[in-house]
């Protein structure tokens, strides 16, 4: 699955059309509250600029419903251009459209070593539809295509698939971010150092059924946490009080338990509260024994489970973690997620943290720089852990 990267090809005096993931959070004043995704694209961007290429950046932001910028200005990439210019320390040109007059004129006047950011690709209805005419207009802007948008690699939108497919005979490579994600989420897992331990949490069994099934086939141990554990409790005849469950997934949970055998570990105890707040009444009960009266619900794995999971993790050589163990945003119900995170760091294993809440948790605990890799893509990392192939990656040039 190894793909050529932007470093493998000459870019001097060439127009590089690069798809990035600048889908950053904005506050009500349209100010960026977390620029991590912009910062992570900097190495690929600098590789082109430093070697004298002309760089044209594409990205989406949010899920605009309107067909034009005037109706959905809150999704404009203009704030991203400002932040990118600050991070790079050089001018960043911005086009107010994607394939219209503004974009075409700015592409024509772009000089070597300069950078242009196009407006949100989703403002054009052709993006979601994979429209050939729209894709062709974008494709004509570049001599080289580069995919550095791992967070949308599982999508088949125009800028991810139709645009590179339209660039017939032209190089199609990945950026450094996508290369790193592939290396860890695909290649490292294909031949893991053992013991190989996976930790799967989060709210819903339905979101993770395929992931758990795939990991059970390749892991030595799979640890379950989060609200999904209460659906497993019901599947084994337990009581869960008012805990979040998916009653329609109980049979699936039973199947996973049977498939996993001794390799699938469920929580031994549960940290409960009688209200969804940190100051509620609390108690720790054995797993599957949450009282049905009194409003009790599970918010975290308990101390016995934390100790057991940490003991399993400490002997691991490869660890994959996707999904928190509890309500990590609200102490004291962050203890399970924190305990797992600290155990991963202490293990010294090759550690891969899936995107979304797992990435947010490891950042919150200040441990992101102590693990091997933190994925930038929530949905994309989940699908890659399922063993799925992405058209947006498959079409890139092999090494």
Active site residues: 37, 204, 356, 379
Classify burial at 47, counting beta carbons within 10 Å of its beta carbon; exposed 0-12, middle 13-18, buried 19 or more.
buried
DSSP letters, 72-121, are -GGG-SHHHHHHHHHHHTS--EE-SSSSSHHHHHHHHHPPTT-EEE---G
CB 312 within 8 Å of CB 265: yes
**In the block, residue with structure tokens 């899936």:** 354
What whole-number distance in Å separates Cα of residue 86 and Cα of residue 76? 18
**In the block, residue with structure tokens 């989940």:** 382
What whole-number distance in Å separates Cα of residue 323 and Cα of residue 200? 5
CB 231 within 8 Å of CB 205: yes
DSSP letters, 271-340, are EEESSSSTTS-EEEEETTEE-SSSS-EEEEE-HHHHHHHHHHHHT-SEEEEES-SS-TTSTTTTHHHHHH
The residues, any chain, with a CB within 8 Å of residue 88's CB and separated by 6 or more, are: 42, 45, 46, 49, 115
What whole-number distance in Å separates Cα of residue 352 and Cα of residue 115? 32
**DSSP label at 184?**
I
């Amino acid at each position: 699955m190894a793909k050529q990267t932007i470093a493998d090809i000459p870019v001097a005096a060439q127009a590089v059309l690069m798809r990035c993931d600048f889908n950053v959070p904005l506050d009500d004043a349209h100010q960026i509250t977390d620029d991590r995704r912009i910062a992570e694209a900097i190495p690929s961007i600098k590789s082109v600029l430093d070697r004298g290429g002309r760089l044209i950046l594409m990205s989406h932001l949010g899920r605009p419903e309107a067909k034009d910028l005037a109706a959905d200005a809150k999704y404009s990439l203009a704030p991203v251009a400002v932040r990118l210019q600050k991070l790079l320390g050089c001018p960043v040109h911005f086009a107010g459209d994607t394939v219209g007059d503004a974009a075409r004129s700015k592409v024509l006047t772009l000089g070597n070593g300069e950078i242009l950011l196009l407006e949100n690709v989703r403002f054009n209805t052709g993006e979601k539809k994979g429209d050939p005419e729209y894709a062709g207009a974008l494709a004509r802007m570049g001599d080289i295509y580069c995919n550095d948008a791992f967070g949308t690699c599982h999508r088949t939108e125009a800028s991810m698939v139709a645009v590179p497919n339209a660039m017939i005979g032209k190089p199609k490579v990945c950026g450094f971010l996508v290369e790193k994600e592939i290396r860890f989420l695909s290649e490292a897992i294909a031949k893991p150092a053992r013991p190989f331990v996976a930790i799967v949490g989060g709210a819903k069994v339905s979101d993770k059924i395929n992931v758990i099934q795939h990991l059970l086939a390749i892991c030595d141990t799979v640890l379950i946490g989060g609200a999904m554990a209460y659906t497993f409790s019901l599947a084994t005849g337990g009581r869960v009080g008012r805990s979040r469950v998916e009653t329609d997934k109980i049979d699936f949970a039973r199947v996973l338990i049977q498939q996993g055998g001794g390799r699938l570990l469920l929580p031994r105890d549960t940290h409960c509260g009688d209200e969804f707040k940190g100051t509620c009444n609390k108690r720790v009960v054995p797993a599957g024994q949450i009282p049905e009266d009194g409003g009790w619900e599970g918010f975290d794995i308990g101390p016995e489970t934390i100790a057991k999971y940490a003991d399993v993790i400490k002997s691991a050589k490869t660890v994959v973690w996707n999904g928190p163990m509890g309500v990590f945003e609200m102490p004291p119900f962050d203890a399970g997620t924190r305990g797992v995170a600290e155990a991963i760091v202490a293990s010294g294993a090759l550690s891969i943290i899936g995107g979304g809440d797992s990435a947010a948790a490891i950042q919150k605990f200040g441990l992101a720089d102590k693990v091997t890799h933190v994925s930038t893509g929530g949905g994309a990392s989940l699908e890659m852990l399922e063993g799925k192939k992405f058209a947006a990656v498959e079409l890139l040039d092999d090494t």
